[in-house]
Structure 1
Amino acid sequence: MPAATEGFRPRKRLWAALGLFIVGAASYNAISDWRDTHGLLINASESLPNWAFVIHKTAVPKRGEYVFFVPPADPLVIRHFGPQHQMFGKLVYGMPGDLVVHRGSDVIVAGKLVARMKPFTKTGEPLVAGPTGVIPQGCYFAGSPHADGFDSRYAAVGYACSKKIVGVGSSIL
């Protein structure tokens, strides 16, 4: 009499397909979870030295990190960058509680010279000096080492505040 287990013969292809399905589902879930808290950004601006970033959407900005935010719908921002609310990527120079001071065209944050303001854009439009005083809670002075950087040194951009921050970026290229 044959053994009871002789009738059961697993099909290798069926088991392989099931294994691939399980691995694929787990990978999809992992990628989906990652996408909820991260993003990839290609930078087309000259104001940052890197052109590709991974954005960590849940991270809180720290001094010296890249912060990505949606600038205000100021007419100057719209004229130069369009009405699509494109993200700006800048370095965090000032933290909540830091003091921002203007001395002539110099912008000093927490006692350090971080930028110089220009009176006009490259196309001759007037630029208004950005906010001064103590940086409010939830807001950051976001700047760029680029001489023509359009950032918190100007009123049209102002501080990058929590409601408009997309995330903190790490350069990858």
Structure 2
Amino acid sequence: MRLPLRLRRPLLLSGLVLLPFAWAPLDAFSKDHAFLINASPSLPNWAFWLDRDAPIARGSLIFFEPPQSELVDTHFGQAPQMFGKRVLGMPGDVVRHEDDGVFINGKKVATRLEVTRLGIPLTRGPEGAIPDNCYYTGTGHPRGLDSRYAEIGFVCRGQILGSGRAIL
């Protein structure tokens, strides 16, 4: 059943008038939120909801721009996508490496590898107190490139795009 012509025109005009009122809130929302698809095996989920203003806590999933390094370029290309990792250490926590283990405040949180899957040597990550506005990140994936290695190091506020949650 079709609407009579006399009703279609006012309905169309009403929609055109209301569109700018709906557009502004959607535009503002999209500046602080994003839907992300994960192509990496380092996280178990493949779809995430990103909130740029969400608070970051231990266990939060954060998305960030990786630092530029030859190792990152070799494995992910010269314009790598953002990385997604869990926050394992907060500002003020103390990181220590012992043999292949990584400890935060005395608790083992990760195991380091010596080389990447391509055989490139990995450098031991930062140790000591995590600076203000920085975080120690990681995942459960044994070959994940994260704060265990100097090539990533602490992830600081300027690199972070937002906090996310897995949706699929």
Same fold (TM over 0.5): yes
Alpha-carbon distance in structure 1 between the residues aligned to 2:105 and 2:81: 29
> Contact 1:73 / 1:85 at 8 angstroms: preserved in 2?
no
The gaps in structure 1 that reach 5 residues or longer are: 1-10
**Cα shift at 1:170:** 1.1
The gaps in structure 2 that reach 5 residues or longer are: 1-5
1:51 aligns with 2:46: yes
For 2:130, the aligned partner's letter is I
From 77, 99, 103, the equivalent of 2:72 is 77
Partner residue in 1 for 2:132: 137
After superposition, where does 1:23-34 map in structure 2 within 5 Å?
Answer: 23-34=18-29
Partner residue in 1 for 2:158: 163
Q: Which has the larger radius of gyration?
A: 1
Superposed CA offset, 1:40-72 (max 9, x none): 211000000111111111223211110101111
For 1:156, the aligned partner's letter is E
TM-score, normalised via structure 2 length: 0.91
Superposed CA offset, 1:111-167 (max 9, x none): 321110011111111111100000000100010111111100000011110111111
Partner residue in 2 for 1:102: 97
% of aligned pairs identical? 44
Partner residue in 2 for 1:123: 118
1:90 aligns with 2:85: yes
Tell me whether 112-121 or 52-61 shows the greater mean CA deviation. 52-61
> Contact 1:120 / 1:126 at 8 angstroms: preserved in 2?
yes
Say how many residue pairs are matched: 163
**Cα shift at 1:16:** 1.9
**Cα shift at 1:34:** 1.0
From 42, 45, 66, the equivalent of 2:61 is 66
CA-based RMSD: 1.4
For 1:69, the aligned partner's letter is F
Alpha-carbon distance in structure 2 between the residues aligned to 1:22 and 1:57: 31
Partner residue in 2 for 1:3: none
For 1:76, the aligned partner's letter is L
For 1:91, the aligned partner's letter is R
TM-score, normalised via structure 1 length: 0.88
Partner residue in 1 for 2:3: none
Partner residue in 2 for 1:111: 106
SS of the residue aligned with 2:25? helix
